[in-house]
Structure 1
């Protein structure tokens, strides 16, 4: 990722932007992770149901 450097960068804004990006990344990774887990869980559940019948 390339950050544009402004002539007069305000440190506060830069920090806020970084925090936003970091939190967004964390949120995205968590949602992707939970989606994968749900898929696995469903697969396990389905296979269990098939086995029991």
Structure 2
């Protein structure tokens, strides 16, 4: 899951550099959501 977060983050950075602001915003939003899900799963696994 962290792998997908990094992929969407790279897509957002490349889109921002090229000027595609809507794609960059969407990709960064997806990256944030995936990172939060990864973080919650990691914390639950750590506790168990």
Same fold judged by TM-score > 0.5? yes
- Aligned-CA RMSD value: 1.8
Q: Which has the higher contact order (CA 8 A, sep 6+)?
A: 2
Unaligned runs of 5+ in 1: 39-53
Measured in 1, the distance between the counterparts of 2:46 and 2:24 equals: 33
Aligned to 2:26: 16
Which aligned pairs between 1:1-40 and structure 2 lie closer than 5 A? Answer: 3-4=13-14, 5-6=17-18, 9-38=19-48
Q: Which structure is larger by alpha-carbon Rg, 1 or 2?
A: 1
Bigger share in helix: 2
- Corresponding residue pairs, total: 36
The TM-score normalised by the length of structure 1 is 0.56
Unaligned runs of 5+ in 2: 1-8
